[in-house]
Every structure is written in C-alpha cells, then in structure tokens.
Amino acid sequence: MRKVAEGGKHRCNQCRSIFRWPSDLKYHIAFSHNGEQLNVCPEATCGQNFQFPFQLVNHQRTFGHHDWQIVCTVCNKLFGSQRFLSRHTQLACNRYKQEQQEQGQDSANM
C-alpha cells in the first residue's frame, strides 16, 4: 500500500480545487460552496468567518483586535497601540485594503 505517494488528491467536484487533506476539502466546501460558518470568531463584535481553523487561531492570537481602538483611516485596520499603527506601512495598508475587497467580493458572489 503506497497510500502516501498517492496523497494530495482531494479534489473539490464543484470548483476543481485540490486539497492535501480531506479535512481541508471539507472546510473548503463548507466555506466556499455551502456558506457554512465552521470557524467563526466567537467575539460578538467580530464574528469573522474563516475557511480553516488555523486562520481563526491566527486571527485570535495576532489580532487581539477586539479591544483595539486605533484605526488606520485608509484601510480601517485596527491596531492595539499607536506604535503598531506607525509600523503599518503603505504596502501593508494596500494589501489589507485589497484583502478586504476580495472578501467582500466573495460574499457578494454568493
């Protein structure tokens, strides 16, 4: 049995994306095709939905955003302190803006 060599072939039959693990495929289908919310930030003011559990973990670890008050007026990203905002580069700002737009488009398409 050479199961491992044949791995990485979990194909979504709706959009042909390929995933390495069956669980990744399951999360992908729930997130992209079924509109299920499996990995939602439990914070009431946030409620962001993520495709994979690790994204939610990252979000909760690095974002800590739920008490954050400092906001970038360009991209609306929140920061824990003025110091973090001052390290927020133009590049990061543009990237964040773009990510937000892409997320918005995703949900608009559904």
Stretch that binds Zn ion, among 3-11, 19-27, 44-52, 99-107 (CB under 5 A): 44-52
User: Whole-number minimum distance, CB 1 to Zn ion, in Å?
Assistant: 28
Stretch that binds Zn ion, among 19-27, 39-47, 49-57, 100-108 (CB under 5 A): 39-47
The dihedral sign for the CA sequence 47, 48, 54, 58 = negative
Give the integer Cα–Cα distance in Å for 24 and 9: 11
75 belongs to the binding site for Zn ion (CB under 5 A): yes
* Cβ atoms of 33 and 15 closer than 8 Å: yes
Stretch that binds Zn ion, among 3-11, 19-27, 68-76, 99-107 (CB under 5 A): 68-76
Torsion of CA 95, 99, 102, 108, to 10 degrees: -140
Which one of 72, 79, 80, 84 is in contact with Zn ion (CB under 5 A)?
72
